[in-house]
Amino acid sequence: MSVAPVSPARLSSGLRVAPSGGKAIGIHAVLIGYALIALLPVLLIVMNSFKTREAIFGRPYFPPLPGVFSPSGYLTMFERAHFARYFANSAIVAGAAMTLILLLGAMAGFALAEYRFRGNAWIGLYLALGIMIPIRLGTVSILRIMSSLGLVNTLVALILVYAAQGLPLAVFILQQFMRQVPQDLKDAARIDGMSEYRIFWLILPLVRPAVATVAVFTMIPIWNDLWFPLILAPGEATKTLTLGAQLFIGQFISDWNAILASLTLAMVPVLAVYMLVSRNLIRGLTAGALK
């Protein structure tokens, strides 16, 4: 039996013993097995996107080493479609929508958490309602509104819809975290004569972990969405990466190099961001639920 190092914080809960021997091997075997199921498809796509057509079919599990390496899929992609533009569009939409969601969500969350006024609970409830209702059900009206505003085929249309869709959850989560900021801090600032707006900017950095969690949870669905780009902004100049990849693959269904390359390009940005923040993200989730 191996005894794991005991951290001071955990001493109180008695002896801490790591799973040992055969049991530990069994646990790791199952977890590694499932991790392979989760990762293998993604790995195979990424690996084969850098290989020649013969190698993709002949040796699919072989890494893209010299000899089987070929960037031809990527070349086709950049020749035939404006992937750099799609990428920029996705980044602009996700970035702008996220900025709006975080800023406006934090402002509303701050007001709901900080001030007692008539209708506080009702406004909170009203803003939270949208968490459960899919905005897609209002698509017909949204399209009508956007076309009357002359915003069809603009990125602004997407930004507005995504911001509206993301706000309910952002307000809800940020409001919970704003409540936990010590009251003394805000009162001290008030005694020093700070305006309420200054106090907001003082508090905002203190809820950074919550802001990061909200940022990722709102960014991922926006980045991945196919529905609104297809309906509100399907034009060549405003295509997002997900839509661009989907249409591209539809056209090049028999060009395996190009398909694998475009899938890789569509996956890698979101996976990279996820890997960067995953530790904090999962910690944020854990902290939120254990509160």
Residues 68-97 touching another protein, rule: CB under 8 A, are none
Is position 284 an interface residue for another protein (rule: CB under 8 A)? no
Hey, which residues between 156 and 175 contact another protein (CB under 8 A)? 160-161, 163-165, 167-168, 171
**Which of 55, 98, 113, 204 touches another protein (CB under 8 A)?**
113
Is position 226 an interface residue for another protein (rule: CB under 8 A)? yes
DSSP bridge pairs for 98: none
Q: Cα–Cα distances in Å, from 89 out to 11, 155, 159, 161, 238?
A: 52, 7, 11, 15, 6
Is position 1 an interface residue for another protein (rule: CB under 8 A)? no
Neighbouring CB atoms inside 10 A of 107's CB total 15
- Greatest distance between any 2 Cα atoms in the chain: 74
CB of 10 to another protein, least distance (A): 8
Question: How far apart are the C-alpha atoms of 289 and 163, rounded to whole Å?
Answer: 25
Nearest residue (CB) to another protein, 28 versus 208: 28
Hey, which residues between 15 and 44 contact another protein (CB under 8 A)? 15-19, 23, 27-28, 30-31, 34-35, 37-39, 41-42, 44
Q: Residue count at the site for another protein (CB under 8 A)?
A: 102
Is position 183 an interface residue for another protein (rule: CB under 8 A)? yes
Contact 181, 203 (CB under 8 A): yes
Cα radius of gyration (the chain): 24
**Which of 132, 192, 193, 205 touches another protein (CB under 8 A)?**
132
Contact 124, 168 (CB under 8 A): no
Is position 233 an interface residue for another protein (rule: CB under 8 A)? no
Structure tokens at 250: 């539809």
